[in-house]
Structure 1
């Protein structure tokens, strides 16, 4: 028995001596074999799942700007440093699967991104299986969140604009009737038209408040007969959900006919190209926008001021694109959920805190999540006055 104990002790000494041979001091030994895990435990990892190269690089970088600005302003959660772990999906679904697995292996607490709904959907399979919550930023396809209880988003789904426009028309303009002109082959137009119709009927309490829905062919160039018929019906409010070129043509022809309508459109109208192409014909047109600095100042003054200041200092531009604001909010939502969960390692607890989010004050609006992980949030409404975008209304998140 004594012989066996002696042999065991000798072997143990040999093993320790071998290990120490690669370390000049005991401190080096301790750092090599023990401190790595301790150091990792002092950092909380958030995954950045974005196309940082490839065809969608430019869009991925906009979301990244928002994430990084938020990280610079709020670098800690639960008293620990937050580390951003980058995963470039290269705008490719096959690569997206590979780097999503990599983020899982690196044990990130939350994933932010990706730009591109299909890239998000691919990654979502791996994040869901690993019980890691993810927050999409501008991916608006309903399947991103409906296919996974672990996926949320900061942008509203495209059709949500119809709800905000119906609220504006009824609550702000006192409209009791409205009409819709849309491309019959455009699914995007159909989705917004349907949510506008449903909400407007609910608000007015009148099943006939949508006086007429006119579908047109994408090749149609003359809309005068449609405009005359709507004018004869006494309609003053018209929702346009087709392509920008079609909407401009319709408003130009209304002006030629001397007909006065309130034209409502989508966030696609919020570009300099639309302003230049539409000229005086689009004056007074109204549409929602994901981010407007004037409206944002009313949501969360201190954070919004810090966000705008940081953006201007870093990029030298006055107004950040919507994707930057949404990326900023995605990071804030992530660390807020981690803080409330009291853990960075229990993905299910973090997911539950995200799902319970109510009236979170972000720079893109007050955010609550519905049962699908989609945001119920305030929406800024803009009009065009003297060739400029002007904020005129905020549709608050009281949709039910």
Structure 2
């Protein structure tokens, strides 16, 4: 009797599956109908935090993590479900980054945030793309991170964007017509910034000779007196410094000693306490582009972010750009999942990220271009009396 009942149950189950398959002609449809129900009904949405939480880049990874965690505290749910942050320490190492990226895929995270360091993001990107899991870099500025991967986006603008902003500021706000460039010949980052600066500066001045001098140097160079004399003779009113911060400090020091009056222009790499300490009076008056300014009300979310940050870290605390961008990366992920209406369909989430327009973040409004790079405002700061002072915000009118 028991055997007969067992056989009847088996037959009934087979009939049910057969009937279902008549409307699900592929295994994929069958899987979506029967096998993914449990995942969709899960009361937790997993977001991966792919950062160097140890190793040489730990300091920067921790800053991005701080912004992500702050946003998570304010917005701990999506689609009515609790958001769980799944941490993956890539240890500032490319090989480890590949390993922990695969682990995040295995843990079925819906979106990945990070990593600090473009090489680390590139190491994990191929695994995220293969699994169709969208990723949002926080401060990785190398164009290859997004350009070679349709599933990678970023919260910061690319390195070349800063060159455009600096050229616009120099011509339209400072009113200069002649510029010079110091460029590290072995640095791809320097090449990208200097090229976009040069192109935009020439276009805005309508003078193909407005870049009066381009100095290519190597980091081992100690004496820049000859190059500085050439720049001085060229009549350049501003000097774009495209290279490592240590070189920038040394060149500005020697320029000060030589009586050079041209204003030095740089990138967000200058926005560190270490740069101020090592540069001292030699970097006074320098101007640079960066991602965020705590004194500027970029969007309504800026105030939300600053209030939460100061409640947690002290009323006089000033958040770094990395923290604000980490905050924004989390918000972008939550927004895309909400608009997709699912945390399980990576393609749907990716599609919603691609269609992001004028999204208000702590560090400005974000609109993604065809590469997943944000079209957004660029903050210009000046070093005045040993402090970073907001000078201007360049809006992306060049797009």
TM-score, with length taken from structure 1: 0.84
Task: Name the counterpart of 2:310.
Answer: 312
Summarize the Cα distance change of 1:128–1:186 in structure 2 as closer, same or farther, 3 Å threshold.
closer
Instruction: Check the 8 A contact 2:90/2:100 in 1, yes or no.
Output: yes
Instruction: Check the 8 A contact 2:46/2:109 in 1, yes or no.
Output: yes
Which runs of 5 or more structure 1 residues have no equivalent in the other structure? Answer: 13-35
Number of residue pairs the alignment of both structures matches: 374
SS of structure 1 residue aligned to 2:159:
coil
Larger Rg belongs to: 1
Which runs of 5 or more structure 2 residues have no equivalent in the other structure? Answer: 12-36
Task: Name the counterpart of 1:173.
Answer: 174
Instruction: Check the 8 A contact 2:134/2:152 in 1, yes or no.
Output: yes
Task: Name the counterpart of 1:185.
Answer: 186
Summarize the Cα distance change of 1:67–1:181 in structure 2 as closer, same or farther, 3 Å threshold.
same
Q: CA deviation at 1:331?
A: 0.4
Within the alignment, does 1:132 sit opposite 2:133 as a pair? yes
Q: CA deviation at 1:79?
A: 2.9
Summarize the Cα distance change of 1:133–1:239 in structure 2 as closer, same or farther, 3 Å threshold.
same
Residues 14-59 of structure 1, C-alpha deviations (whole Å, 9 max, x = no match): xxxxxxxxxxxxxxxxxxxxxx938953332222222334444333
Task: Name the counterpart of 1:233.
Answer: 234
Task: Name the counterpart of 2:381.
Answer: 382
Equivalent-residue separation in structure 2 for 1:342 and 1:158 (angstroms): 33
1:183-222 residue pairs with structure 2 within 5 A?
183-222=184-223
Task: Name the counterpart of 2:23.
Answer: none
Instruction: Check the 8 A contact 2:94/2:120 in 1, yes or no.
Output: yes
Task: Name the counterpart of 2:294.
Answer: 293
Q: CA deviation at 1:333?
A: 0.6
Equivalent-residue separation in structure 2 for 1:244 and 1:119 (angstroms): 21
Task: Name the counterpart of 1:355.
Answer: 354
Residues 330-355 of structure 1, C-alpha deviations (whole Å, 9 max, x = no match): 00111111122222222112111111
Q: CA deviation at 1:87?
A: 2.8
Summarize the Cα distance change of 1:11–1:147 in structure 2 as closer, same or farther, 3 Å threshold.
closer
Equivalent-residue separation in structure 2 for 1:346 and 1:7 (angstroms): 38
Task: Name the counterpart of 2:335.
Answer: 336
Q: CA deviation at 1:227?
A: 3.3
Residues 179-203 of structure 1, C-alpha deviations (whole Å, 9 max, x = no match): 1122333333222111111111222
Summarize the Cα distance change of 1:89–1:217 in structure 2 as closer, same or farther, 3 Å threshold.
closer
Equivalent-residue separation in structure 2 for 1:110 and 1:256 (angstroms): 51
Runs of 4+ in 1 over 6 A off after TM superposition: 9-12
Equivalent-residue separation in structure 2 for 1:352 and 1:38 (angstroms): 21
Q: CA deviation at 1:373?
A: 1.4
Equivalent-residue separation in structure 2 for 1:290 and 1:3 (angstroms): 72
Task: Name the counterpart of 1:394.
Answer: 393
Instruction: Check the 8 A contact 2:190/2:243 in 1, yes or no.
Output: yes
Moved more, 77-86 or 353-362: 77-86
Q: CA deviation at 1:150?
A: 0.3
Q: Could you say what the CA RMSD is over the residues aligned between the two structures, in angstroms?
A: 2.8
